[in-house]
Amino acid sequence: MIVVLMGYMGSGKSTIGKELATLLKYNFLDLDDYISEKENATISDIFKDKGEIYFRKKETEYLKEIIDSYNDIVLALGGGTPCYGNNLKILNDDKKVVTIYLKLSIPLLATRLYAERDNRPLISHLSSEEELLEFIGKHIFERTQYYNQAQHIITTDHQTKKDILEAILLELI
């Protein structure tokens, strides 16, 4: 089985994914890290040097590679991965893949991301929490239709890691 975590940046995909992998005795993969390693460049540099179209093509290529090559992993997607090309179809059509949307409210995403915006190129230019709230709101509006196609939706607002992990494990039974 491949457990795929999707959701907006800052929703906890990597943090929860690593702990979930440990509980399941699976390996953990972060798609952005996988792409960076294969391309020998950071995601920011790929966007800057080769553009978003190149990145999105590579993202789909590497997503297929992971789905075809691995079993027993927890895979954290990039926030935009399910929203481009046929990535969501690739995931939802594969019988060994279980997709889970980690849903966190916009205000909580903004609070969480504001503190770490310097490490996130997409939002580093935003100087206030209000600007960030507006930015996230627009993105979530555009992406929700994709995220909601996940096989399971876990609302994570005000939940502990333990609560979130238990909710995911219950969905996987």
Q: How many residues comprise the chain?
A: 173
36 annotated ligand binder: no
80 annotated ligand binder: no
Q: Two tokens at 94? A: 């594969």
32 annotated ligand binder: yes
11 annotated ligand binder: yes
Residue appearing with tokens 């993202």: 59
155 annotated ligand binder: no
12 annotated ligand binder: yes
* Angle of helix 43-69 versus helix 31-39 axis, rounded to 10: 110
Q: How far apart are CA 75 and CA 139, in angstroms?
A: 22
Work out the number of other CB atoms within 10 angstroms of the CB of residue 115. 10
112 annotated ligand binder: no
Helix (H, G, I), strand (E, B) or coil at 4: strand
162 annotated ligand binder: no
Annotated binding site: 10-15, 32, 56, 79, 120, 143, 159
Annotated binding site for Mg(2+): 14
Annotated binding site for ATP: 10-15, 120, 159
Annotated binding site for substrate: 32, 56, 79, 143
